[in-house]
């Protein structure tokens, strides 16, 4: 029997990070000492108080049953309280908060609730691949919004074709941004709100890096802008802030009708987040935040080490004020980010992510994740210098 994928699967490009993982395994099998600076998976442990709360909750038989699809009331209230403290945004925990099995799950599912076959979603490029892939899986048409360096890696909404804007159902944005590390002020979010109200578009703001900032910078919420809740939602995750990538817990907040649509999808495709993990998430958001501050100090030291080291090698690298990535132009005479990343791996054993893997407008750039100890970053800089990779 010939096995044939559905057309929607054939439309999906290979998932970038799965491809990178396969290449890393091949090199490891060849005996290469790999320094992986590709995937945004914090190497620091989950804070002890969160782990202990999970252990306690996991022992309670009451948490061994099916959880609520939307999340426990206590967890949703904690999220609403956190948004009020952090952003001065008021949320109804019953109608305007929903728990997710990691924010990736919610991002992938939101198009299923609102995109019909052939409908348009406006997707940033370069970007986290799931915005585009989720749209394709829903039968929609992702239309790229270029993120150009000269515009601070923000989409120029005025350049979006008016007919396309009128047809679009969803607009994805993401600040602080992955992969470009760009940040956005409330003025930009106001532009997005006005544009989306004028064109009746749902805004989905992916905001997992708001707590990962440096040098006194404080990222804002899209929902701080007047009328934002009328047309949009915001996705958040505990993965990056609390080093909980494997725990798979996040949330979405904002417009109640949009969240109800997402909830309809979730009711039919998953069974909610394990309650013990929700209790651990409550501890993360309500408990002491000293570990978060300590972790950001570590990432700041790593950022400074890598940026200064790469600059000393003649590379043009800026110090970001958010995320734990560096995003920079590949060195001359390289023209292809894939060729550069391939040479970097084959000659030095270092893995960085080619910018084109995030979209065609990412060509010419590379992303470096600061998810290795300082000693390994120093080793990476030494290898690059030794092999004169330029």
Residue 325 near residue 181 (C-beta atoms within 8 A) = yes
Secondary structure of the chain as H, E, C letters: CCCCCCHHHHCCCCCHHHHHHHHHHHHHHCCCCCEECCCCCCCCCCCHHHHHHHHHHHCCHHHHCCCCCCCCHHHHHHHHHHHHHHHCCCCCCCCCEEEECCHHHHHHHHHHHHCCCCCEEEEEECCCCHHHHHHHHCCCEEEEEECCHHHCCCCCHHHCCHHHHHHEEEEEEECCCCCCCCCCCHHHHHHHHHHHHHHCCEEEEECCCCCCECCCCCCCCHHHCCCHHHHEEEEEECCCCCCCHHHCCEEEEECHHHHHHHHHHHHHHCCCCCHHHHHHHHHHHHCCCHHHHHHHHHHHHHHHHHHHHHHHCCCCCCCCCECCEEEEECCCCCCCHHHHHHHHHHHHCEECEEHHHHCHHHCCEEEEECCCCHHHHHHHHHHHHHHCCC
Encode pLDDT of 98-112 as tens digits.
Answer: 999 999 999 999 999
Q: What is the pLDDT of residues 303-339, one digit of tens each?
A: 999 999 999 999 999 999 999 999 999 998 899 999 9
pLDDT of the residue at 191: 98
Burial bucket for residue 217 (CB in 10 Å: 0-12, 13-18, 19+)? exposed
179 prior amide bond cis, ω within 30: yes
Residue 4: band (very low, low, confident or very high) from pLDDT cuts 50, 70, 90: confident
Of 39 and 130, more confident: 130
* pLDDT at res. 239: 96
Which residue is associated with the tokens 């915005």? 131
Question: What are the residue boundaries of the structural domains of the chain, listed by start?
Answer: 8-45+290-387, 48-286
Q: How far apart are CA 339 and CA 366, in angstroms?
A: 11
How confident is the model at residue 43, as a pLDDT?
A: 94
> What confidence tens digit (pLDDT) does each residue in 175-216 have?
999 999 999 999 999 999 999 999 999 999 999 999 999 999
Say whether 48-286 and 8-45+290-387 share the same fold: no
pLDDT band at 387 (very low <50, low <70, confident <90, very high): confident
pLDDT at residue 362 is higher than 80:
yes
pLDDT above 80 for 13: no
Q: How confident is the model at residue 245 (pLDDT cuts 50, 70, 90)?
A: very high
**Average pLDDT score over residue span 12-18:** 73
The pLDDT value recorded for residue 390 is: 61
Residue found under tokens 């690059």: 384
CA gap 128, 159 in Å, rounded: 22
Contact 232, 196 (CB under 8 A): yes
- The residue-averaged pLDDT of 364-386 equals 96
Domain 8-45+290-387, CATH class in plain words = alpha beta
pLDDT average, residue stretch 46-57: 98
Question: What are the angstrom distances between the C-alpha of 369 and each of 38, 175, 315, 352?
Answer: 6, 17, 16, 7
- How many whole angstroms separate alpha carbon 203 and alpha carbon 232? 4
Mean pLDDT score of the chain: 95
- Determine the angle formed by the axes of helices 256-269 and 103-114, rounding to 10 degrees: 100
Q: CATH for 48-286?
A: 3.40.640.10
User: Which of 7-11, 149-153, 209-213 shows the lowest per-residue confidence on average (mean pLDDT)?
Assistant: 7-11
Q: Where does the pLDDT of residue 389 fall: very low under 50, low under 70, confident under 90, or very high at 90 and above?
A: low
CA 163 to centroid of chain Cα atoms: 29
With bands split at pLDDT 50, 70 and 90, how would you rate the model's confidence at 130? Answer: very high
Report, as an integer, the average pLDDT of 209-224. 97
CB 235 within 8 A of CB 250: yes
């Amino acid at each position: 029997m010939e096995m044939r994928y559905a057309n929607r699967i054939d439309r999906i490009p290979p998932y970038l990070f799965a491809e990178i993982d396969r290449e890393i395994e091949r090199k490891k099998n060849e005996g290469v000492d790999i320094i992986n600076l590709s995937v945004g998976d914090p190497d620091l442990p989950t804070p002890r108080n969160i782990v202990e709360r999970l252990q306690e909750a996991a022992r309670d038989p009451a948490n061994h049953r099916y959880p609520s699809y939307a999340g426990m009331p206590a967890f949703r209230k904690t999220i609403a309280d956190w948004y009020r403290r952090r952003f001065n945004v008021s949320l109804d925990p019953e109608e305007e908060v929903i728990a997710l099995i990691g924010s990736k799950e919610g991002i992938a599912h939101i198009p299923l609730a609102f995109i019909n076959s052939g409908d348009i979603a406006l997707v940033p490029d370069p970007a986290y691949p799931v915005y585009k892939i989720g749209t394709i899986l829903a039968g929609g048409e992702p239309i790229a919004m270029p993120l150009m360096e000269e515009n601070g890696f923000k989409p120029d909404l005025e350049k979006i074709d008016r007919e396309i804007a009128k047809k679009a159902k969803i607009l994805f944005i993401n600040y602080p941004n992955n992969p470009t590390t760009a940040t956005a002020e409330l003025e930009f979010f106001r532009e997005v709100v006005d544009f989306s109200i004028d064109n009746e578009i749902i805004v989905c703001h992916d905001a997992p890096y708001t707590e990962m900032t440096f040098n006194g910078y404080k990222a804002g919420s899209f929902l701080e802008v007047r009328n934002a809740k009328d047309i949009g939602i915001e996705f958040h995750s505990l993965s990056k802030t609390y080093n909980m990538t494997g725990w798979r817990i996040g949330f979405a907040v904002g417009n109640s009708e949009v969240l109800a649509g997402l909830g309809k999808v979730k009711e039919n495709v998953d069974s909610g987040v394990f309650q013990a993990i929700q209790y651990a998430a409550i501890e993360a958001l309500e408990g002491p935040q000293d570990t978060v501050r300590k972790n950001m100090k570590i990432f700041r030291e790593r950022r400074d080490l890598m940026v200064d080291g790469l600059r000393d090698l003649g590379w043009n690298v800026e110090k970001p004020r958010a995320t734990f990535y560096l995003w920079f132009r590949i060195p001359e005479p390289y023209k292809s980010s894939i060729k550069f990343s391939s040479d970097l791996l084959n000659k030095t054993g270092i893995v960085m992510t080619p910018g084109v893997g995030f979209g065609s407008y990412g060509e010419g750039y590379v992303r470096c994740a600061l998810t290795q100890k300082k000693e390994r970053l120093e080793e990476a800089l030494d290898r690059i210098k030794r092999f004169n990779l330029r």
